[in-house]
Amino acid sequence: MDASIPLNHLRIPAFLLLVPVLCIHAAGAQEQSVPRPEELVRGVYYFEDQGLFTMHGGARVFSERYHDGVPIDFAGRVVFTFDDVVFDESLDRILDALASRQIPAVFFLSGRHMLGVDVGAISSRLERIIAAGHRIGNHSYSHDQFDRGVYADGRHDFRDVAEDLDRLEAIVDEALGYHYPMGLVRPPFGIRGNDATDAEERMARPGTVDRVVAARGQDLVLWHINSLDFLIVPGGTYQPAELPELAAARVAESLGGVILFHSNRYTASVIEETIDAILASRTGSGYPVRPTNLEEIYAIKYELDRTLTQAR
């Protein structure tokens, strides 16, 4: 589809923008109903598109098997993604671990972790990511929530989100010395805007991030499995040594899909053990874990929209 199709009048039902539903899937139960609250499993998020569609290649694409709320079984396929990349030895260790196991990954950069860092340290590591066959995605310049502050005035939210993404891409291009076609976007905290109206909780218009990503011809990439490594920080819920078991358990409760990590020294300190624990596990439907790329996940999950047009 034409990535330039205007999206100003895109209307997204409010129910598509609710907080992602956490799901558990019993082996073989392909037709199960949506779990009750007491059945929810923390860390397993079957929501990558938060509903019926996401953006891919500038077009809205749908998951036909997601319409009844049943999560899709990815048959053990798992995509490794890392947010908030820190450009130091922690990234080197993560890249070493992936290389030795021949695992592709996506690294989502945020500008706040690049400010004040020697440009040589950034450029050399960006080149290493690219040379290894990994992909680089846009996790915003500010890492602010795209449903608050300047992003929530209801008039300029599209412009402000787009400018934030542009600033990150400008930093990357400057570090590399050429234009890197950054085709993937993951908004901070996975937030895409919703329609809350409370004065203290004013948010961007529904679907703002969707419209921005589509207009830019980029793909929206959220996640299905949260490793919970963001809880491994000083004073956090877990210690680094707990991450291998924690992440493997999240994968074992899932049906595969995109897994979320963060590229920092806490995760990096146990990344080899964590990856190996994941590779030794099986997903909730019994398949052994097989690392893959986003394209394979998208091929399983989505079909191009055949009928929808978006008019200004």
Would 277 be classed as within a structural domain? yes
Q: What is the pLDDT of residues 256-295, one digit of tens each?
A: 999 999 999 999 999 999 999 999 999 999 999 999 999 8
Q: What is the pLDDT of residues 229-240, one digit of tens each?
A: 999 988 888 999
Q: What is the pLDDT of residues 23-47, one digit of tens each?
A: 323 333 343 344 333 343 456 665 5
pLDDT tops 90 at residue 208: no
Read off the pLDDT of each residue in 154-167 and give the average, rounded to a whole number.
Answer: 91
> 4 falls in which pLDDT band (50, 70, 90)?
very low
- The predicted pLDDT at position 19 comes to 33
pLDDT tops 70 at residue 65: no
Q: What percent of the chain has pLDDT over 70?
A: 70
- The predicted pLDDT at position 33 comes to 43
pLDDT tops 80 at residue 226: yes
- The predicted pLDDT at position 308 comes to 39
Would 63 be classed as within a structural domain? no
Would 236 be classed as within a structural domain? yes
Q: What is the 3-state secondary structure (H, E, C) of the chain?
A: CCCCCCCCCCCCCHHHHCCCCECCCCCCCCCCCCCCHHHCCCCEECCCCCCCEEEECCEEEECHHHCCCCCCCCCCEEEEEEECCCCCHHHHHHHHHHHHCCCCEEEEECHHHCCCCCHHHHHHHHHHHHHCCCEEEECCCCCCCCCCHHHHCCCCHHHHHHHHHHHHHHHHHHHHCCCCCCCEECCHHHCCCCCCCCHHHCCCCCCHHHHHHHHCCCEECCCCEECCHHHCCCCCCCCHHHHHHHHHHHHHCCCCEEEEEECCHHHHCCHHHHHHHHHCCECCCCCECEECCHHHHHHHHCEECCCCCCCC
Least confident piece of the model among 22-31, 83-92, 120-129: 22-31
> 227 falls in which pLDDT band (50, 70, 90)?
very high
- The predicted pLDDT at position 32 comes to 39
Q: How far apart are the first and last CA of the chain?
A: 16
Would 163 be classed as within a structural domain? no
- The predicted pLDDT at position 10 comes to 35
Burial environment of residue 143 by CB neighbours within 10 A (0 to 12, 13 to 18, 19 or more): middle
Read off the pLDDT of each residue in 52-69 and give the average, rounded to a whole number.
Answer: 56
Would 270 be classed as within a structural domain? yes
Would 30 be classed as within a structural domain? no
- The predicted pLDDT at position 54 comes to 58
Looking at the structure of the chain, the number of domains it has is 1
Domain range for 249: 70-97+109-117+223-306
Say which residue, 249 or 155, is predicted with more confidence: 249
> 55 falls in which pLDDT band (50, 70, 90)?
low
Would 38 be classed as within a structural domain? no
pLDDT, averaged across the chain: 78
- The predicted pLDDT at position 244 comes to 97
Would 258 be classed as within a structural domain? yes
User: Which region, left, alpha or beta, applies to residue 4 given φ > 0 means left and ψ of -120 to 50 means alpha?
Assistant: alpha
Say which residue, 59 or 191, is predicted with more confidence: 191
pLDDT tops 70 at residue 200: no
- The predicted pLDDT at position 62 comes to 57
> 304 falls in which pLDDT band (50, 70, 90)?
low
Beta pairing partners, 55: 60
Spatial separation of the C-alpha atoms in residues 39 and 62, rounded to whole Å: 26
- The predicted pLDDT at position 60 comes to 63
Beta pairing partners, 106: 81, 135
